[in-house]
Structure 1
Amino acid sequence: MGHHGYGENEATLGDRLTAAREGAGLSVAELADRLGVRAETMQGWEADQAEPRAVFLGRLSGMLGVPLTWLLTGKGQGPQTGGDGAASLPRTELRELRRLLHEATQRIDRLEELLAND
């Protein structure tokens, strides 16, 4: 699913959105949840089947740590990729913690639902 073989002029908004999301170590579902949209909506944006409204573009820029100008045009500094080892270790740990938090949240939701039905 990585879109890393494109040139600046060939990349679409969906390509840049995917690259920024992957650079942030987030799944489609995680980012959609944080943004308050359905995963299908996020997938549509990444596939260039639809475009996010301006309010979402600004929030995506902030959440993904990329300039809005880059997200819209591809000009400027894009997502930071893990460099050589030391710089990528905190990023890898953060990604793992986000995954664990997401799993824990799902488990809590399931347990609360079970308890509510008792």
Structure 2
Amino acid sequence: LLVALAAAAPRPDEDAETLVDERQDNGDGTFNYRFETSNGLKEERVGTVGAEGQSNMQGSYSFTLPDGTVAVITYVADENGFRPESPLLPQDHPLPAHAVAQIAFAE
């Protein structure tokens, strides 16, 4: 069991090897991409053509933090900008009730 755990443990960056490198460009603005290294870096993304001809993307990337925790970030990038999501990113605090009431009154 220890041998299996040691073999599965992320290796230092300087020794990292590419495990997966898949790229599919369909030539029409759509694509698929997947990448993974032996030190725990992973990325996946899918591209589609947006309504105004822009490239829309959604995907995720992950990496191992120094404490061994795996950080995962998912995102969407489109005509509304880049929108990442992760428990590691700061979150908006809910508005207090008095602020919600003032906004409703102003509308």
The TM-score range, normalised by the shorter chain, is under 0.3
- Structure with more of its chain in strand, by fraction: 2
TM-score under structure 1 length normalisation: 0.23
- Structure with the bigger percentage of helix: 1
Q: Which has the higher contact order (CA 8 A, sep 6+)?
A: 1
Greater Rg over alpha carbons, structure: 2
